[in-house]
Amino acid sequence: MPQDRDDLVAFLRALPAGTPILWVGLGSNLLVRDGGIRGVVIQTQDALSQLERRGEREVYAEAGVPCARLARQCAKWNLGPAEFFTGIPGTLGGALAMNAGAFGGETWRQVTRVETIDAAGGIRTRDASEYRSSYRHIEQPAPQEWFLAATLRFEGESSAEATRELLEKRRQTQPIGEWSCGSVFTNPPAITRAADRGDRPQGFPDRRRRRLDQARQFHPQRRRGERPRHRVADRTRAARSRARAGRHAPARMPHRRRGRIDESHT
């Protein structure tokens, strides 16, 4: 972990050319194999932690600033949209590297400039237009360049209340506080586009939610708040059949229910 920027530059200049370098923020998007990492690891958290307001609408933040701190400070400055940063358990450097986003917000939509450093310790300022960003991905203008800091522009407002609401929403829908490797799947493009527009995605998630509601309604264990003994798919199928059969048929005898429905149709 470097002491500061000068220390980092001196370290990189002294590093033998070609040494593999891995930058780490909070490590919330990394899974390291037991064999470890070949090369050097540079950790930015606590080292690059400057965060300040610049002018009316801009914020300058170094790469090691945790996203949650950025969200909290923006709420104090009443600058937004920045609430979404509260849901990203990483640093700004990690968020820049993968265009992290949550609740319809995305890191690179707010970026105007970045400061980068290369393997030889050379520092550059680059305009955001030099990067191409897409869903959880960016294309950099040059390989082997890492983020030191970014200038973010916020045209709207944000509040501590809105930040708290998003945190609560996250707490209700995700296992916060449990050990987790984060999201393993990416959203399909249609869902991402719908989320960007602020729409609620239709189709599969709604159908699945309806089935789960049905399962809860009809499953005695679920109603009592106990853990179900059967797979969800079994329960929902049984619940659907029971709903069709007027709720009277016993859950353990699906063949009978099916027989009865068939008879009524013939």
Ligand X SMILES: Cc1cc2nc3c(=O)[nH]c(=O)nc-3n(C[C@H](O)[C@H](O)[C@H](O)COP(=O)(O)OP(=O)(O)OC[C@H]3O[C@@H](n4cnc5c(N)ncnc54)[C@H](O)[C@@H]3O)c2cc1C
Q: Which residues bind ligand X (CB under 6 A)?
A: 22-30, 44, 63, 87-91, 93-95, 97-98, 100-102, 136, 146-147, 180, 182-183
CB of 174 to ligand X, least distance (A): 7
Nearer to ligand X, 189 or 250 (CB): 189
Nearer to ligand X, 95 or 249 (CB): 95
Q: Which two tokens stand for residue 86?
A: 């509260």
CB of 164 to ligand X, least distance (A): 17
Nearer to ligand X, 185 or 220 (CB): 185
Nearer to ligand X, 99 or 236 (CB): 99
CB of 120 to ligand X, least distance (A): 16
Q: How many CB atoms lie within 10 A of CB 110?
A: 24
Of 72, 98, 96, 97, the residue nearest 84 (C-alpha): 72
Cα angle vertex 72, ends 71, 73, to 5°?
95
* Phi, psi (rounded to 5 degrees) for 177: 95, -15
CB of 100 to ligand X, least distance (A): 3
Nearer to ligand X, 80 or 93 (CB): 93
Nearer to ligand X, 102 or 215 (CB): 102
Q: How far apart are CA 19 and CA 127, in angstroms?
A: 28
CB of 128 to ligand X, least distance (A): 15
Q: Which two tokens stand for residue 254?
A: 């699906």
Cα angle vertex 194, ends 103, 99, to 5°?
50
Q: Please, are residues 26 and 91 in contact by the beta-carbon 8 Å criterion? A: yes
Cα angle vertex 191, ends 170, 204, to 5°?
90
Nearer to ligand X, 48 or 239 (CB): 48
CB of 149 to ligand X, least distance (A): 9
CB of 211 to ligand X, least distance (A): 26
Non-local CB neighbours of 223 within 8 Å, separated by 6+ positions: 216, 217
Nearer to ligand X, 81 or 101 (CB): 101
Non-local CB neighbours of 168 within 8 Å, separated by 6+ positions: none
For residue 81, give Cα distances in angstroms to 97, 111, 158, 218, 226. 20, 12, 6, 42, 40
**In 65-203, alpha helices (H):** 67-77, 92-98, 160-173, 189-197
CB of 118 to ligand X, least distance (A): 11
